[in-house]
Amino acid sequence: MAGQQTIPSQELAAEVAAGSGQIVNRCYQCHKCTAGCPVAMAMDLMPHQVVRYVQLGLEEELIKSKTIWQCAACRTCVSRCPNGIDIAAINDALKQRALARGAVPALPEVAAFHQAFLASVKSRGRVHELGMLAAYKLKTRTYLQDAPLGFKMLRRGKLPIFSGGIKNKGRFRAMWEGSKEERR
């Protein structure tokens, strides 16, 4: 409708700030993050647009976007931003929010990898590559797609069958649960 104005909701910005530690209202849209992003050419929303959409409360558009799943988390955006805004952290908060809402990710295979990675870290305190890959392959139903490479890696000792956990698992779990509570 022509002439209709949207009043931005600060609710999404506040929740993203709580989940990422980033204050999106510091962004004045200089586009330096987008200019330096090595993955921008593959994104449907540019990094500066993600921040702007959060400022405007356009959550549905963000959740439907491929961008939050395609971000390489290289943090080039942070090094270029005059206000130090970490768009990778914002994208992570948006991913967690989308998954918590049960939204269908724009890139389901990336979401499956994200979930398998976090589950591995949660259970062991660090990533167990073989277990994480097995969980990922089960979720995406691509069971044998990388089997030849996996066997080569196993033979060369690059993909250990067993890996140790970390010391003080109890402290790690308390920290994990504490960070989960903070995000709520």
| CATH no., domain 7-106 | 1.10.1060
pLDDT score recorded for residue 159: 83
In angstroms, the CA 119 to CA 141 distance is: 18
In angstroms, the CA 77 to CA 65 distance is: 18
pLDDT score recorded for residue 161: 82
Residue with tokens 């996996």: 150
Where are the chain's structural domains?
A: 7-106, 107-184
pLDDT score recorded for residue 181: 58
Residues 51-76: pLDDT tens digits? Answer: 999 999 999 999 999 999 999 999 99
Q: What is the pTM of this model?
A: 0.74
pLDDT score recorded for residue 177: 78
pLDDT score recorded for residue 77: 94
CA angle 103, 104, 109 (to 5 degrees): 130
Listed in sequence order, the residues at least 6 apart from 121 whose beta carbon sits closer than 8 Å to its beta carbon are 127
Q: Collect the ranges in the chain with pLDDT lower than 50.
A: 1
pLDDT score recorded for residue 128: 86
Collapsed DSSP state (helix, strand, coil) of residue 81 = coil
pLDDT score recorded for residue 86: 97
pLDDT score recorded for residue 29: 97
